[in-house]
Amino acid sequence: MVSPGSFKNDFGIDVMQKIEIIPAIDIIGGKCVRLSQGDYASQKVYNEHPLEVARMFEDAGLQRLHLVDLDGARQKQIVNYKVLETISTRTSLTIDFGGGLKSDNDLRIAFECGAAMVTGGSIAVTHPETFVEWLLSYGPERIILGADVRDGKIAVSGWQEESSLDIFPFIKGYMEKGIRKVISTDIRMDGMLAGPSYDLYNEMLDEFPELFLIASGGISCMDDILKLAENGVPAVITGKAIYEGRLTLKELGKYMARVS
């Protein structure tokens, strides 16, 4: 990452820290969809060809992609690996992949199909010994912890189930085992276009200052992203705001050009 640079938002506020912007593609049935608050019944198809969407992100100057296999999350095994393979071989995007990674074979398929990183959420709750083995085998640059939360509790299985685990001890335990990157979504905010959970992320960074926190959920406009940057959040995932036209690829490209 480059040294932090200054970028003025529309209100003249200086953002002194670069934030990595990661667009998201969620897949159901091979199509690009978005949900609201993790509800599969709320799915809306935005494009039947995820590669087209990925190429638009690439053309805008974005370098990363968060690719989620929602079918896999629900079926508890990797499903849409062909979408991953197509995007990884036909774009230059650096992809982190999640959804349905429950076994060593799932992990192998994800990496063989082009994932640079994988995100493990449910597996870190249900089979922590397996997740720790992955972390030791592949290292903290390739294994990301998914710490998605609803009312302070970790949620699993595509957010269809809530665990009894409190989020802060959960993150702390895995940081002690070597995790450095965490994607955290406040499920109540996801897909609602009402702004992210600033207080939650501020608490996380206060508690874990060395954490590479990737905020997710609720982004409604560019100023949401800039405020996260002001607060010291190093990376953010955004999806629905782009698909709904609240956040344009032109804006994202302009930001990337200013801070690179």
Q: What is the pLDDT of residues 104-158, one digit of tens each?
A: 999 999 999 999 999 999 899 999 999 999 999 999 999 999 998 988 889 875 4
pLDDT of 123: 92
Identify whether 223 is a catalytic site residue. Answer: no
Identify the pLDDT of residue 222.
94
| pLDDT at site 1 | 34
Is this structure's pTM higher than 0.75? yes
- CATH of 7-259, picked from 3.40.50.300, 1.10.238.10, 3.30.70.141, 3.20.20.70, is 3.20.20.70
Bridge-based pairing of strands 14-15 and 20-28 is unpaired
Quote the pLDDT of residue 57: 97
- The domain ranges of the chain are 7-259
Q: What is the pLDDT of residue 5?
A: 45
Length of the chain: 260
d(CA 214, CA 154): 16
Residue 22 pairs in a beta bridge with 237
Average pLDDT, the chain: 89
Rg of the chain over Cα atoms, rounded to whole angstroms, equals: 17
Check whether 11 has a pLDDT greater than 50.
no
pLDDT of res. 8: 58
Q: What is the mean pLDDT of residues 27-56?
A: 91
Question: At 3, is the pLDDT very low, low, confident or very high (cuts 50, 70, 90)?
Answer: very low
- Report which of residues 164 and 248 the model is more confident about: 248
Asked if 90 and 51 count as a contact pair (C-beta separation under 8 A), the reply is yes
Q: Are strands 39-47 and 117-120 parallel, antiparallel or unpaired?
A: unpaired
Active site residue 148: yes
> How crowded is the C-beta side of 210, counted as CA atoms within 13 Å?
9
pLDDT band at 159 (very low <50, low <70, confident <90, very high): low
Q: Which of 69, 96, 106, 148 is catalytic?
A: 148
